[in-house]
Amino acid sequence: MELTGKRAVVTGSNSGIGLGVAESLAAAGAEVVLNSFTDRTEDHDLAATLAARHRVKVSYIAADMSKGADCRALIEKSGGCDILVNNAGIQFVSPIETFPVEKWDQILAINLTSAFHTTAAALPGMRAKGWGRVVNIASAHGLTASPFKSAYIASKHGLVGLSKTVALETAGQGITCNAICPGYVLTPLVEAQIPDQMKAHNMDRETVIREVMLDRQPSRHFATVEQIGGTTVYLCSPAADQVTGTTISVDGGWTAL
C-alpha cells in the first residue's frame, strides 16, 4: 500500500469528514492518529475498529483544538507525523451585528488557528525527513461566501491563505500543502438536518435535498466522505508531488458558478 510507513494525524476525526479521511488513509496503509476533544471509551474503540479493519496502527488522542497548547501537544504525543490533515471545524449562523463574540473567537480558534499550531509543530519533523503532506479541509466557503456565516467564511478563507503560505515556505523541501474545498457533504450531522428541513418546507426528502440543501451545488448531489478521503490520498501520492499551494474543489460545481 502506497502510504505504508507514513503516520497521519487527522484532527476532528471521530465522525464525519475527518473519520472518512482517516479511513481512506488507513486503507492506503498509513498509521493513523484520530482526534477529537472528547476522551470516551467509544473514541478508543473506534481506533481499534479501524486498526483491525485495515491492519494498520490506529490510535486516538484527545486534544481541544480551541487551545493552542493542546494542538501542539497532539503532534508531540503522536510522535510527529508525515501527513497532517487539519479537519477540525465548527459552525454558527447569525447576522454580523448580533454574532456572539465568543462564538466568533471559538470558530476562528478551531477552524483556523488550530491549523497554524499543528502545522508549526509538524513541519520540523517533516523537514528532517524531507517529506511531508499538509492537507487542510477548507470549504467551498473558503472560496465564496454566504450571508450570516461571517466567522466560518473568514476562517475558511484564512485556511486557504494559510495553505498557500505554508506551500511557499516549504517549496522544494519534499513537503506540500493544499486545501480541499468541499461543498455539502453527506455526514451524520447533515443527515440529521434533513427531517427538520422536510418539515419546514413541506417537501419530501429528495425534493428538500435537491431544491433547498443543494440549491447552490449544481450537481444536486452531496459529496461523500469517501470522495474527500480519496482526494486526500491523492494529495499524499507521488502523482501530487508538484501539487502544492492550491485548492481542490469537491463541490459539484458550486464555485464554478
- CA-CA-CA-CA torsion sign (8, 10, 13, 19): negative
Q: Look up 152 and say whether it is catalytic.
A: yes
Let me know if 187 is exposed, middle or buried by CB neighbors in 10 A (0-12, 13-18, 19+).
buried
Distances (CA, A) of 102 to 73, 105, 108, 233: 24, 5, 10, 35
The upper half-sphere exposure of residue 95, i.e. CA atoms within 13 Å in the direction of its Cβ, equals: 2
Buried b (16+ CB within 10 A) or exposed e, 208-217: bbeeebbebb
The upper half-sphere exposure of residue 26, i.e. CA atoms within 13 Å in the direction of its Cβ, equals: 27
Which cell numbers hold the place of 23? 479511513
Q: Please name the residues in contact with 234: beta carbons below 8 A apart, sequence gap of 6 or more.
A: 240
- Of 158, 167, 186, 184, residue with least CA distance to 250: 184
Distance CA 257, CA 254 (A): 6
Distances (CA, A) of 122 to 9, 82, 111: 10, 8, 17
Residues marked active site are found at: 152
